[in-house]
């Protein structure tokens, strides 16, 4: 197991998704989003290689993997390091993920 170190922007992404789903579908849906995103993070910690490297390869970001949140169109984006996972973002599949991550990594 590798602990996930969630970047502040990824936490803001998660909070924004919870807020959005609360406004759109009510408290029950917001709770489901919270549980689903946390469960997906738990899965990544238990098996870091579970995520797909396809997007990272396409963007030229070595080691970037994505893992879909069950029952929601959301992706956790993360990098695996020796002792931890660097969780970069939580993005909606309808967002321009390529542009967002390209901008995030261009500024690093």
Averaged pLDDT for residues 102-108: 71
Sheet holding 4-6, edge to edge: 4-6, 85-92, 74-80, 64-68
Q: Strands 4-6 and 85-92, how do they pair? A: parallel
Using 50, 70 and 90 to split pLDDT, how confident is the model at 42?
very high
> Is pTM beyond 0.85 here?
yes
pLDDT value of residue 102: 79
- Kindly tell me if the per-residue pLDDT of 108 is higher than 70: no
Across 61-70, average pLDDT: 96
Domain 4-106 class in CATH: alpha beta
Mean pLDDT in residue range 11-18: 97
């Amino acid at each position: 197991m590798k602990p996930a170190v969630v970047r502040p922007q990824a936490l803001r992404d998660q909070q924004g998704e919870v807020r959005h789903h609360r406004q759109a579908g009510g408290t029950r849906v917001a709770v489901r989003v919270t549980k689903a995103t946390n469960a997906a993070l738990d899965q990544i910690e238990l098996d870091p290689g579970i995520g797909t490297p396809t997007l990272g390869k396409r963007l030229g970001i070595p080691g970037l993997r994505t893992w879909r949140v069950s029952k929601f169109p959301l992706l956790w984006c993360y990098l695996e390091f020796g002792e931890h996972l660097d969780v970069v973002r939580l993005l909606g599949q309808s967002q321009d993920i390529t542009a967002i991550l390209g901008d995030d990594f261009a500024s690093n």
